[in-house]
Amino acid sequence: MPNVRLTKSSVDRLLATNRDTIYWDDGLPGFGLRVKTTGVKSFLVQYRNKQTGRSKRKTLGRYGPTLSLGAAREMARALLADVVRGGDPVADAQTLRHSPTVNSLAAQYMTEHAEPKKRPGSVRNDRSMLDRHILPKLGELKVIEVTHQHVQKLHNQLRDTPYQANRTLALMSKIFELSVRWGQRSDNPARGIEKFPEEKRDRWLSDDELQRLLVALSEHPNQVAANAIRLQLLTGARIGEVLKAKWEDFDLVRAVWTKPSHHTKQKRREHLPISSATCDLLAAMKAGASPESPWLFPGRSPDQPYKDLKKFWSSVTTSAGLQDYRIHDNRHTHASHLVSSGLSLPIVGRLLGHTNPSTTQRYAHLADDPLRQAADVMGKKISGGSS
């Protein structure tokens, strides 16, 4: 195989022979031009793998309008420099060719992680974020091709909905963390991306609004759904925990609600003390309950719980004249009234099932109310005595 000084003129002059011929460049060892018997000319590199000692060749592309000699020489120089650093361009290309796509990684995530380990609602949310945001942008890329910049760009494109953007980022981070564990790449490209600031909802009911809601509940014809809301207000539970509650979960003698781990957000069993008012509500419900159903709030079929309160909730809040008040905000109402009554934040956090104390901190300013009332006692005495 002859060595020549590869220049544009020399490359153009080389003609086909009766066999494929490789001409190696005098100026860049390992860089060459293959001339096939058909006359087709292609650039290539040849190198020796440092670990195995094996000689390997990699074709860079066909000489022509889309690949000039200068461009091919720069490609070769970069690849050969990578070899000096211990790289293996042929093996890397084979790895990329056989690497799974983000589409297949997402499918693996759903079947091997989300569906067996997460709650149905969370699985639906993950699927929605994948289908709406992640896969349309990244799905066709190989897993090892995804960069920090890809993830950052996708996150930035959702800046107008910061909560959704941050949830999507968290999902991408989890998926790529698993791809590292599954040996599909060596790093997590979603790590280190700063989340957008989120404004937490501070919506809960005043005493007047709460009374209006209770009146609307009492007047609504669907008292099964009304009792679900009453139980939520009395306990501060998530509505999903309420609707999935079974009679066997309650001990009215000890006044305890035992929430199974598969019903709670933290995936652990919780023992929640319940009030005498809650026990009275449950006793009244039990007296009229169907013996055929294990659920506190059976659906159309007695072997299934009540599924959805959206229409009911819309009707009740309209009747009560409540604006921008979601069913989940009943937890905030429960907590805010407890804190305003003088209960400590740690106690309220435990009742709500918060594992992170910072989650309960949104109610911290309400804890000043009973302290201010106590401080006013002495102020009133002094003001009264000085008049």
Q: Would you tell me how many other CB atoms lie within 10 Å of the CB of residue 217?
A: 21
**pLDDT tens digits for range 270-325:** 888 888 999 999 999 999 888 889 999 998 887 888 888 999 999 999 999 998 89
**pLDDT tens digits for range 89-122:** 776 666 666 688 999 999 999 999 999 988 888 8
State the Cα–Cα distance between residues 282 and 231, nearest whole angstrom. Answer: 8
> Which residue has tokens 């819309």?
314
**pLDDT tens digits for range 24-35:** 998 899 999 999
Element (H, E) at 277: helix 276-287
Banded pLDDT at 387 (limits 50, 70, 90): very low
Closest CA to 70 of 111, 117, 11: 11
> Which residue has tokens 């079974």?
246
